Structure 1
Amino acid sequence: MTFTVEINDPLPGTRNHEPITFTVEGDLHEPLWWALLDSGERVLCQRLDAGSGEGRTAFVAVLSFTGSARLTLEAPCLDTPADGIKVLTGKEADCFVRLDTGAFDLELCSGTAQGLGSSKWGIRHFRATSDGFELLPSGNNAIGGFYGPFFTPENGLINPPEHTTVHIEVVERGPVLHHYRMHGTIPDGLLEELKGKSFTIDWRFTHNTPFFQRKYQVDDFQTVINGRSVTNKITVGDEFEGGPGKLVFDRFAAYGGTRYRTGDPYAGELVAMVADTVANSANEGPKFEEFRTQLADIEAAHWDLYWRLFCAWEGVLGEDELRERLSRVRAAAHVKADLNDRPWILTEEPVDVSAVPHETIFPGPATKTVEFDQTSGRAMIWWTSQASGAFQIVQRRQSGWVNWGSNGENECPELPVGVDIKTAYGPFADRWKVVADQLESPPAVTVT
């Protein structure tokens, strides 16, 4: 029986190695098949284990086209195709897999739970193959971590990417698609309702596609963060680094205009409490003394030392002192976050984040956002299938650290669990809205 796959783009323009998933009737067991375009060009199709069975077979292919295309499933591919996703040798000790997808060279790590930036799970190295520019050269930061509501002053600043490891399951692995699923359990913090929670993260990378896909699932939870009820919302955080004095991205924009406030009062209150704790705490434990020594010059100390001092997982302070000091930070930060001295700014222009107080902005709701570099034109574009209620964007020139986070002020998580996330990267600064629209509206696929 012949199967024909009709593909129609709802948008104008050209699709670049768009992943096309389709299902046909019948149990086809060969892992790879050839399909023919009307032009006679052959397209490789990879059978999907997930979605196949009980008389149906699912496939994925990648296709570049304008307007519409038609594929006819032809025959099994009996030879090993020369082209496709390649597995490379990783750089990090906890590397699970390093991939050359054709578009990206990336390293997916399982973490080491040492409580350091270098121990995070997630994507710890990432570059486009077109220019070789590395967005995460040190391996001390990661794309894909999630933080709130666990990494909050209410919960004792539990940092899932740094404080736990993940088991990574291979869901699909072939020349067209690699699909991995992370499984992890979050260490307990201060809040009873957040204890014993587990999570999964699905990652999908397709051959030559200039974007990747992911989805986060977390055990159901309901808690109160920043004085607000939070039910099944998380903070996803993507980090980038350019080195001291260098930013890989120096502008931020949201589709339809950016509504934002500048500055981060919570960070200021945390720093002030660090100074108070170092000067006045009666704690005499060896770990506290170690932190006290490292924080003697607060201005020169690494930011991680600030929050780690108040982390329940670290155990630097006793629980009673930890709760008391964090409650004071929260109370002061809640007041400052709602004062009238930080007006909302509405702009159609990209925001120069490094020029504002704390080199931080808190934009309002959006489904399509971008961070880009004005000089090179490189851009990272995010689309989420539901809006995040807020974001925290940091572009800190002194350290070179850049962040995209789906949280509002005081670490309040705002992205619903279970949404689809597509993240594109490339020289897209001058047409990022076109790319974002394509992430949002995939081609329609019908099988006859």
Structure 2
Amino acid sequence: MPFTVVVTDPRPGWRNNEPVTFTVEHDLTGELWRAHTDTGEDLLCQRLSSSDIPGRATFITVLSFEGKTEFTLVEPIDNAGVGIRTGSAQEPDGFVRLDTGYFDLELCTGTAQGTGSSKWGLRHFRSLHEGVDLLPSGDNAIGGFYGPFFTPENGLINPPEHTTVDIEVVERGPILHHYRMNGTVPDGLLAELKGKTFSIDWWFTYGTPYFRRRYRVDNFQTVVNGRSVTNKITVGDEFEGGRGRLVFDRFDVYSGTHYRAGDPYAEELAAMVEETLATSTSESPKFKDFRGQLSGEIEAAHWDLYWRLFCVWEGALDDTEIRQRLERVRARAHTRADLEERWWVHTGGPIEVSAVPDETIFPGPASKTAEFHSESERAMVWWTSAPSGAFQIVQRPQSGWVNWGSNGENECPELPVGVEIKTAYGPFAGTWRQVADQLESPPEVRVLPEGT
């Protein structure tokens, strides 16, 4: 007996290949099914094997529509004809290269070698209509998580660079690829953060202009920036345009931005890097290597080199020297962060981040944010199912590095563990708020009773 599904959009506007999941109360076999819409079009549906329950079958499809639409599940089929395609990975640790019909991206496992190119996550990412890779070098990544493990208090361990992940295929079909990363955070200096495991779920659907992810980490409680932190993390999405070029040159918050400009902590850390290179008596080969890499213009150096010098995993400095030097950095940065000249600013429009001190701002709480390019109209839009308490946004022309991070000042993590993140990308600079509204409010799905 056919099953009819009614899909209603709570928001105005057109939906482009919006993923729709529905469950029918019946044992149905077959991985692929054909459905028929009320406008006379065929629709491809993929049965989700991970959701199999006796007496039920769950499917996913993608719909382009406005307002309301219906479709009827008709019959199983053998071949999809269209859908997500896999290709050859570019990076040595590339797990899968996907052509989703909208994005071309590469999901990597990482190599744990302590360099930018060692990171797990998305290390290549472009939309097919634009053809511009936002991560061309493979030295940065979308999707890493950092604090509280990647903090001065913990010896600046950088999880995406110093560990690998195993990637589990949860679903792989023409409509949906669902991957789960599993890993263990490397131990730093703090006992309460040792031995923690994590997983990250990624969902990519056919032709959809956004993707989804969710982070799980073992329960933890620690202190960062003088504040208690319980089960909050820093998620960091990085982008690169090369020296003198920014892929995004504006930042905006849905309801206006409260922020402070400048990054005293980064200034203090950079100063300590220079002091350490000049005065440390460390004889380790790794320290000598870093001294050579950081001898030029420090602002143009890969930002991760700052962290690696003070990372216990690297062994450039011993634990005692790391603690002593970073205690000084923290004390100075904590004082400078709240000096009266660092006033809070409110603006209702986009911010040119590269025009403020340190090319960095720290906005307050939000769940809908965007970074975009003022001339090309390209925009990345984030929606989180619960607000992050703060953000760190960097748009630095000296290196071409752009960052969206869910942390406040002095590396204090602010995004609750378990929050869903939807990230859209496309020519959305002028319409990003409507895009964010759609990310927040998925269509309502109702399966009509049999015989209706």
Q: TM-score range by the shorter chain?
A: over 0.9
CA contact (8 A) 2:373 2:379 kept: yes
Residue 289 of structure 2: aligned partner: 290
Amino acid at match of 2:211: F
Amino acid at match of 2:213: R
CA contact (8 A) 2:197 2:217 kept: yes
Amino acid at match of 1:107: E
State the alpha-carbon separation in 2 of the partners of residues 345 and 305 from structure 1: 31
Residue 446 of structure 1: aligned partner: 446
Alignment of 1:117-266 (within 5 A): 117-266=116-265
Secondary structure (helix, strand or coil) at the match of 1:308 reads: helix
Secondary structure (helix, strand or coil) at the match of 1:217 reads: strand
Segment drifting more, 322-331 vs 159-168? 322-331
CA contact (8 A) 1:44 1:61 kept: yes
1:349 equivalent in alignment to 2:361: no
TM-score (norm 1): 0.98
Residue 328 of structure 1: aligned partner: 328
1:54 equivalent in alignment to 2:54: yes
Secondary structure (helix, strand or coil) at the match of 1:189 reads: coil
TM-score (norm 2): 0.97
State the alpha-carbon separation in 2 of the partners of residues 213 and 240 from structure 1: 18
**CA apart distance, 1:293:** 3.5
State the alpha-carbon separation in 1 of the partners of residues 7 and 347 from structure 2: 37
Residue 37 of structure 2: aligned partner: 37
State the alpha-carbon separation in 2 of the partners of residues 280 and 301 from structure 1: 20
CA contact (8 A) 1:275 1:298 kept: no
Residue 6 of structure 2: aligned partner: 6
Secondary structure (helix, strand or coil) at the match of 2:104 reads: strand
Residue 71 of structure 1: aligned partner: 71
Question: How has the CA–CA distance of structure 1 residues 161 and 70 changed in structure 2, closer, same or farther, with 3 Å as cutoff?
Answer: same
State the alpha-carbon separation in 1 of the partners of residues 93 and 445 from structure 2: 39
1:105 equivalent in alignment to 2:104: yes
**CA apart distance, 1:26:** 1.4
Deviations, residues 64-94 of structure 1 (Å, cap 9, x unaligned): 011001111111012x122100001111111
**CA apart distance, 1:302:** 4.0
Cα RMSD, aligned residues only: 1.1
State the alpha-carbon separation in 2 of the partners of residues 39 and 298 from structure 1: 61
Secondary structure (helix, strand or coil) at the match of 2:48 reads: strand
Deviations, residues 85-111 of structure 1 (Å, cap 9, x unaligned): 000111111110000001000000000
Segment drifting more, 305-314 vs 249-258? 305-314
State the alpha-carbon separation in 1 of the partners of residues 143 and 154 from structure 2: 21
CA contact (8 A) 2:301 2:399 kept: no
Amino acid at match of 1:20: V
State the alpha-carbon separation in 1 of the partners of residues 45 and 222 from structure 2: 45
State the alpha-carbon separation in 2 of the partners of residues 286 and 375 from structure 1: 46
Segment drifting more, 215-224 vs 338-347? 338-347
Segment drifting more, 203-212 vs 286-295? 286-295
State the alpha-carbon separation in 1 of the partners of residues 288 and 44 from structure 2: 61
**CA apart distance, 1:321:** 1.2
Secondary structure (helix, strand or coil) at the match of 2:430 reads: helix
Residue 279 of structure 1: aligned partner: 278
**CA apart distance, 1:282:** 2.7
Question: How has the CA–CA distance of structure 1 residues 173 and 71 changed in structure 2, closer, same or farther, with 3 Å as cutoff?
Answer: same
Residue 115 of structure 1: aligned partner: 114
Structure 1 segments of 4 or more deviating over 6 A? none
CA contact (8 A) 1:224 1:230 kept: yes
Secondary structure (helix, strand or coil) at the match of 2:308 reads: helix
State the alpha-carbon separation in 1 of the partners of residues 281 and 329 from structure 2: 18
State the alpha-carbon separation in 1 of the partners of residues 378 and 335 from structure 2: 38
**CA apart distance, 1:298:** 5.5
CA contact (8 A) 2:249 2:354 kept: yes
**CA apart distance, 1:399:** 1.0
Alignment of 1:350-389 (within 5 A): 350-389=350-389
Segment drifting more, 323-332 vs 349-358? 323-332
1:338 equivalent in alignment to 2:349: no
**CA apart distance, 1:279:** 2.2
State the alpha-carbon separation in 2 of the partners of residues 183 and 390 from structure 1: 26
Residue 94 of structure 1: aligned partner: 93
Amino acid at match of 1:85: I
**CA apart distance, 1:301:** 4.6
Alignment of 1:13-24 (within 5 A): 13-24=13-24
Deviations, residues 319-368 of structure 1 (Å, cap 9, x unaligned): 11111111111111111111111111100110000000000000000000
Question: How has the CA–CA distance of structure 1 residues 302 and 434 changed in structure 2, closer, same or farther, with 3 Å as cutoff?
Answer: closer
1:26 equivalent in alignment to 2:17: no
**CA apart distance, 1:288:** 2.2
**CA apart distance, 1:40:** 1.7
Alignment of 1:76-87 (within 5 A): 76-78=76-78, 80-87=79-86
**CA apart distance, 1:54:** 1.9
Unmatched tracts of structure 1, length 5 or more: none
**CA apart distance, 1:20:** 0.1
Segment drifting more, 292-301 vs 253-262? 292-301
State the alpha-carbon separation in 2 of the partners of residues 18 and 294 from structure 1: 46
Q: Percent of pairs identical after alignment? A: 69
Deviations, residues 402-433 of structure 1 (Å, cap 9, x unaligned): 00000000000000000110000000111000
CA contact (8 A) 2:158 2:307 kept: no
**CA apart distance, 1:283:** 2.2
Amino acid at match of 1:232: N
